[in-house]
Amino acid sequence: MFKRKIYITLGFVLAVTIYAHAQVEKWQKGIVKQEFLYDQAPFPSCHSATIAETPTGLVAAFFGGTKERNPDVEIYLSRFVQGKWLAPVSVANGIQPDGKRLPTWNPVLYQVPNGDLLLFYKVGPKPSEWWGLMKTSKDGGITWSEANKLPNDNIGPVKNKPVLLSNGNLFAPSSREGDGWKIHFEVTNDNGKTWRTIGPLPENGIKAIQPSILQHGNGKLQILARTANRALAESWSEDNGETWSPLTKTTLPNNNSGTDAVTMKDGRHVLVYNHVLPSGDLAKGARTPLNVAISKDGKQWYAALILEDSPISQYSYPAVIQTADGMLHFIYTWRREKIKHVVVDPSKLKLKSIKNGVWPKLNGYTAPILTETKSEEP
């Protein structure tokens, strides 16, 4: 009887998985390519990917090791060369001068226009105690400088890429998780030699971290951030980020998982996130599906893509950029086992309005009901 229950359960999961895969394909118009960065790696677990376009090609980084928080977790980097991703190599670790090992966290890549490739990352036993470091590469990620600790306890961009503003400031979206969740910005106008801090932002009763920045022109900026309040949060600036409005909740749900966003060359905004409203009054929910939405004004969002959806969670911690050829590149954690890269042609996306925070149906498809899997992410 017990074995029969196991077979029935496995059969149900398999059936739901097959159905979900077949249906989610209807939400994948515009996808040009899907691939993993690697098939095999010297580590069992990975997370928190970042991607940048350099003069010599795409570069991606992420952390990998036994599991998140383990002292053997290092920053790995892959380069896209001659049509394929090269095997990941370690470019940073948490080995201290006394030989003690600490885990590394949340790498962020940024290509300085006509300059170096920057790599920001964190080292420390946990997010509330980590510190920020930066490395530079002059050859598109082949070789790297020694690590430099960021001054004044700065941590750099906490998860999502910095943006270069029209006034020459490189604006790094950041946050802290020690004495409550608080968003701030770290700003440099000399490519990381010196920094100043703006914030923290007025919280307005919202616990938010890991913001991403959208640019609306004429000094108008918007952030979207992960929260523990069951919805994405936003804040606005009218003066190139020097001052910000108090955080407010948007109509888009959030399962207390990382997101990213980018402003495209045509002025539209792209958001990648788990469109998941946790059950009951919970803050956390299943990290699937992984969705893409587009907006003209940062307020009204339209459903564009479902990158992944499966009863097997998780698909999370995405990053997105637009390359010089106009393509969108998404990169994200695939079940904590691999890093996946998806290329999308934005001109081929079919949009449907998101009303009252509900992802629209497409040919009768809605995401399967899922039970949250245990996550190592705090």
Q: Give the domain ranges of the chain.
A: 31-353
Residues in the chain: 378
pLDDT over threshold 70, residue 285:
yes
Architecture (CATH level 2) of domain 31-353: 6 Propeller (2.120)
- What the block records as the tokens of 368 is 């399967």
Per-residue pLDDT tens for 263-277? 999 999 999 999 999
- What the block records as the tokens of 302 is 């339209």
Question: Which contacts of 187-193 are long-range, i.e. CB under 8 A and separated by 24 or more positions?
Answer: 187/241, 191/112, 191/115, 191/116, 191/118, 192/118, 192/134, 192/136, 192/150
Cα radius of gyration (the chain): 20
What pLDDT, on the 0 to 100 scale, is given for residue 345? 98
- What the block records as the tokens of 249 is 């909740």
pLDDT over threshold 90, residue 16:
no
Output the average pLDDT for the chain.
Answer: 92
Q: What angle do CA 170, 158, 256 make, to 5 degrees?
A: 130
Per-residue pLDDT tens for 136-190? 999 999 999 999 999 999 999 999 999 999 999 999 999 999 889 999 999 999 9
For residue 103, what pLDDT band results from cuts at 50, 70 and 90? very high
Cα separations in angstroms, 227 against 142, 253, 284, 363: 36, 10, 10, 31
What global pTM score does this model have?
Answer: 0.92
Q: Which residues have a Cβ under 8 Å from the Cβ of 314 and sit 6 or more positions away? A: 286, 287, 288, 333, 335, 336, 373, 375
